[in-house]
Chains A and B, each alone.
Chain A
Amino acid sequence: MIRHFELSLLELFSSGKLNGTTHTCLGQEYIPVALRAVLTDDDFILSNHRGHGHYLARFQDPEGLLAEIMGKEGAVCHGVGGSQHIYRKNYLSTGIQGESLPVAAGIALHLRRQGNLGMAVVHIGDGTWGEGGVYEALNIAQLWHLPVLVIVENNKIAQSTPNRLQMAGTIAGRVQGFGINYLKINSIDINEIRTLIRPYIQVARTKSSPLVIEFETNRVGPHSKGDDTRDIKELERIQKWDWYSAYRQQYPAQFEHLGLKVQTEVSSLIKDVEARELVQWKLL
């Protein structure tokens, strides 16, 4: 669903039907999907600019999200937030890099005081590690024993800048500097990922401590819209890696069946939302 939703968004942009910008998570969809089964409704998710997948995995609400992006009636945030500023119960996304980690620390403090074992779950990228707020928040999260789960989606490229030009050392090394628990995931197999991360998350949750999980992943699509500067060889390598291709190869019948079903759903959704009135908002 996330893949087809976002492919359709890119098409809509190309045909001039969408306003502004969008950042797709093509290739990285499996991460929020894997997490969904391990997280609870008490967990507060803080998403980022590349957040469609996080939202869809949490709420299964392509309709509200599409209406939001298209500025049509039924928009989850009345068309004000758009692609990268979404708020629903225990979920928000915002478009400033690194900003959400300190906020997550505040939310985690609240959750810990509530005593329901909820965690603040922050999705960040590799590029986010350039921001100072990340380190301020990690330091405090560890000092204050805050249940903050940091999900790093390391796609090895920050917009157009490869990690060799933007990151000295490693994420693991930085996290270890704070004495924070750390786990690296290379797998793209959802079941395997769940098995690997579940015990770590359980410990962080029950002991109220921060945890950083780094996913080694790839951005199959552009940063935004048609702004990919990576060379063809690199893109071919990534295409081969993509869970989508692996799924097609391993389960061709199921892949085709489900793909067709979701494609039909998404196209009829687009028709439906496109036909709606523009969403109205009273200036707040």
Chain B
Amino acid sequence: MEATLKKTERVVENLNRALHHIFAVDPQVFLIGEDILDPYGGAFKVSKGLSTKYPDRVLSTPISEEAIIGIGGGLALCGNKPIVEIMFGDFIALGFDQILNFASKSVSMYGTKLDLNMIVRCAVGGNRGYGPTHSQSLQKHFVGIPNLYLFELSPLHDNIAVFEKLVNLTYPSIFFEDKVLYTQRIYTDGLIDDLFSYEFLDTANNFARIYADSFEENSCLLIAPGGLVPRCLAAARELFIDFEIETQIIVPSQLYPFELETILGLLTDATHIFIVEDSVAGGTWGSEIAHQIYSHLWGKLKNPVKLIHSKNSIIPSSAHLEKQVLVQKEDICNSVKDAVLYV
């Protein structure tokens, strides 16, 4: 019992520790971004302590997203491993060309494979009242770009392992960090709470599965990126306690390309599959995954795949209005209940 009560580190502390670890073991790692120097240490404090320890590899920049990502691309092309911080993910739009037309294309457009180890970290997601230009989940805008890998922060995946993978990926990647997660505790040792546990489904620790031992059949399967874990967990608890609906949650660290093969068995067994994400409706990551599921399992699925995403709207600032647009625990519960109880 004591072990479960022991306070684990916060997600932001884990992320910060991962960066310190990567800087210590690899002299080719750089961090480039706005306001990342101590004592400020980044808008969300992810880079705390780094500039003091590694002053020549932590580069504070002007407000120039295109240049920041372009400098990262240039460093990566020369064999370095830059980590670029975009303070609010929304600003990544200002550097989109460098990601789409330079870094990701350079991997293959010169005829032979060039290794480009660049990680673009960006804080995304809402529920903090920051309004339309500081709250978006931009994952969907980067799905399907050749040579570009997408990852997402989660409270289940240890960031040391994630960043060790990313700095040596040989492809550029974007690491999305839902800002709501920063202050939450990271889960360890497979434990979540009195009801739920988690495990990894593959040796690479890419897919985490949240489940309850007491469930007899896991009729509902939620697939959700890390940022949705708190809301999905709350929904799964409520669905079980109030409606006896048993739900498991699959959380991939790597969003794209999505390695469906690992979870094909779980998908075939599930009665209902839901893909939950924060992006606003239309052309989303979830629709891409749903397409992959249909392509592989058409004829074997028990029910259509359901997408749960934010409304097709800009994201308002006021808390009550923001809740109407972004996916909430209640939206997940209602979608699941609609599918399971009212068929």
Report which A residues bind B (CB closer than 8 A). Answer: 75-81, 85-87, 92, 94, 96, 99, 101-111, 120, 132-133, 136-137, 139-140, 143-144, 281, 284
Contacts and interface: CB of A to CB of B under 8 A. Distances in A.
A109 B108 contact: no
Interface string B172-212: 00000000000000000000000000000000000000000
Q: Which of B73, B77, B110, B112 has the most CB of A within 10 A?
A: B110
A140 B68 CA distance: 9
B78 interface: yes
A133 B67 contact: yes
Given A94-B101, A284-B147, 20 more contacts: A77-B112, A80-B108, A85-B109, A94-B102, A99-B70, A99-B101, A101-B70, A102-B66, A102-B67, A103-B70, A104-B74, A106-B74, A106-B78, A110-B75, A133-B97, A133-B98, A136-B66, A137-B67, A140-B62, A140-B67
Given A87-B110, A99-B98, A284-B107, A110 B70 contact: no
7 contacts: A77-B112, A92-B106, A94-B106, A102-B66, A102-B70, A139-B64, A143-B62
Interface in B33-91: 59, 61-62, 64, 66-80, 82
B21 interface: no
A77 B80 CA distance: 23
B113 interface: yes
B22 interface: no
Contacts of B75: 106-107, 109-110
B299 interface: no
B265 interface: no
A140 B114 contact: no
Contact of A132 (B66, B76, B106, B113): B66
Nearest to B75: A106
Contacts of B76: 106
B64 A109 contact: no
Q: Which of A85, A101, A107, A110 has the most CB of B within 10 A?
A: A110
Interface residues of B, number: 34
A18 to B, nearest CB: 18
A284 B71 contact: no
Contact of A103 (B59, B77, B110, B147): B77
Contacts of A104: 74
Contact of A80 (B68, B77, B109, B147): B109
A77 B77 CA distance: 16
Q: Which of A85, A133, A139 has the most CB of B within 10 A?
A: A133
Contacts of B70: 99, 101-103, 105-106, 133, 137
Contacts of B106: 87, 92, 94
A105 B69 CA distance: 11
B73 A106 contact: yes
A284 B73 contact: no
Contacts of A136: 62, 64, 66-67
A282 B48 CA distance: 44
The 7 lowest CB-CB distance pairs between A and B, nearest first, are: A106-B74, A102-B70, A78-B111, A87-B110, A136-B67, A284-B108, A136-B64
Nearest to A137: B67
Contacts of B82: 106
Contact of B110 (A85, A107, A110): A85
Contacts of B62: 136, 139-140, 143
Given A110-B78, A136-B64, A102 B110 contact: no
Contacts of B108: 80, 284
B110 A77 contact: yes
A107 B78 contact: yes
Q: Which of A86, A92, A108, A132 has the most CB of B within 10 A?
A: A92
Contacts of A77: 109-112
Contacts of A92: 77, 106, 110
A140 B109 contact: no
Interface in B231-262: none
Nearest to A111: B78
Contacts of B109: 77, 80-81, 85
B111 A102 contact: no
Nearest to A90: B78
A99 B107 contact: no
A140 B78 CA distance: 19
Contacts of A75: 111
Contacts of A137: 64, 67, 70-71
